[in-house]
Amino acid sequence: MEINKNEILSKLQTIIVPEVNKPLTQYVTNLQTGDNSLDIELKLEKKINPLENSLKKVIENVLIDYKNKGVKIKINVIPEKVQMQEVKVNKTFSENPLNKVKNIIAVASGKGGVGKSTVSANLAISLALQGYKVGLLDADVYGPSIPIMYGVQNERPFIEKIGEKEFVVPVEKFGVKLISIGFFVKEEDALIWRGAMATSAIKQLIEDVAWGELDFFVIDLPPGTGDVPLTMVQTIPLTGAIIVTTPQKVATADVVKSIAMFKNNSIEVPVLGIIENMAYFIPSDLPDKKYFIFGKDGGKQLAARFNVPLLGQIPIDENVVSNADNGIPAIQNTTISEAFVELSKKVVKQVEIRNKNLPPTKVLKIN
């Protein structure tokens, strides 16, 4: 079927974008037609990024006649890039592989078992799906699980010489550059390390890896407020921290300690927000039912208490664990994938707000 571009644009002209009251055609950056195919590319400004799904549905409705005639319609939305905190360290690239990293986000939790690594893994993929360049460091040295979640536990990074120094090249999967201590130790070996050994390993995973150019560098920290989180604030200027909790009081009580650590006067790492994981459960056979297995709104109450955003309430999905064990992240094949997409968009928004209103974070110096 012959597709007339002017006719398509005329139909899209009738769509008025809420919030800005402008015709959709002002956001069309490319329009390609082929044999029974139509590709539309939109670039949305930040304030209307949340309207992406709604606009796609409106476009499909306006072009329903083409769809009914067998035309395959593809709509690609490119979000406007977020303002970045440039990570500046007084070293050359041969000494500092993070000189092209723009934002560094630590994902922390007060205690284990709240799904912090699941959140880190899926947040990184969701950011990559938005078009950002993303790296992920599995800094949970005592329980590295992200290689399994990504299905790359049998892969090994290789060495590349850059300048006068040799660097480890990260494994890449799902558009994310990934490094974990799990790549360098056998699965059955226990890591019996004192704090100094663990922190030394983390510094190597940061300084001896060729991360290259990244918009977001996500760091999955071990739970608690021990040596590794402190090493992070001493080694690199974190853009901000995200705290993961479950709703019950046992978990939220420990979160208070994590927030207090990042907000400490000598550290002052901005807390970008709280994520309430395992917020509720919806049985697949009873989609209208919502069960609050671990209590209700614990993360929401914490966010209000500390005056930080609640970035998301991620429900329980019975397939998350089995999929993760088989290297299938939740964002790819579960009912909660949309929750992670929305989470990543809120994280980008909070990073933008932070970079606009706060100076770059300084590396902590302990005398």
Return the HEC string of 6-75.
HHHHHHHHCCEECCCCEEHHHHEEEEEEECCEEEEEEEECHHHHHHHHHHHHHHHHHCHHHHHCCCEEEE
Q: Nearest-CA neighbor of 179 among 200, 133, 210, 142?
A: 210
Domains present along the chain, CATH in parentheses: 5-79 (3.30.300.130), 101-357 (3.40.50.300)
Residue 366: the pLDDT is 47
Band the pLDDT of 122: cuts 50, 70, 90.
Answer: very high
User: Which of residues 198 and 52 earns the better pLDDT score?
Assistant: 52
- Average model confidence (pLDDT) across the chain: 81
Choice among 65-69, 70-74, 84-88, 305-309 with the minimum mean pLDDT? 84-88
Q: Which two tokens stand for residue 42?
A: 């939109």
Band the pLDDT of 201: cuts 50, 70, 90.
Answer: confident
Beta carbons within 8 Å of 338's beta carbon, 6+ residues apart: none
Query: Environment class of residue 62 by beta-carbon count within 10 Å: exposed (0-12), middle (13-18) or buried (19+)?
Result: middle
- Residues making up the chain, counted from first to last: 367
Residue 311: the pLDDT is 94
User: Which of residues 156 and 94 earns the better pLDDT score?
Assistant: 156
Q: For residues 41 and 232, give the distance between their C-alpha atoms in angstroms, rounded to a whole number.
A: 39
Q: Nearest-CA neighbor of 60 among 20, 11, 17?
A: 11
DSSP-assigned beta bridge partners for residue 41: 30, 76
State how far the alpha carbon of 180 is from the alpha carbons of 62, 150, 152, 165, in Å: 47, 11, 10, 21
Q: Nearest-CA neighbor of 112 among 152, 150, 144?
A: 144
The answer to whether the beta carbons of residues 23 and 17 sit under 8 Å apart is yes
> If you average pLDDT over residues 28-41, what whole number do you get?
86
Q: For residues 208 and 247, give the distance between their C-alpha atoms in angstroms, rounded to a whole number.
A: 38
For 282-333, the pLDDT digits (tens) are 877 777 788 888 888 888 888 898 899 999 998 888 777 777 777 787 787 6
> If you average pLDDT over residues 4-16, what whole number do you get?
87
Q: Which two tokens stand for residue 112?
A: 């284990």
DSSP 8-state class, residue 159: E
- Beta strands 176-180; 28-34: pairing state: unpaired
> If you average pLDDT over residues 169-190, what whole number do you get?
79
The answer to whether the beta carbons of residues 301 and 283 sit under 8 Å apart is no
Q: What angle do CA 331, 334, 336 make, to 5 degrees?
A: 70
Band the pLDDT of 94: cuts 50, 70, 90.
Answer: very low
Res. 221: pLDDT tops 60: yes
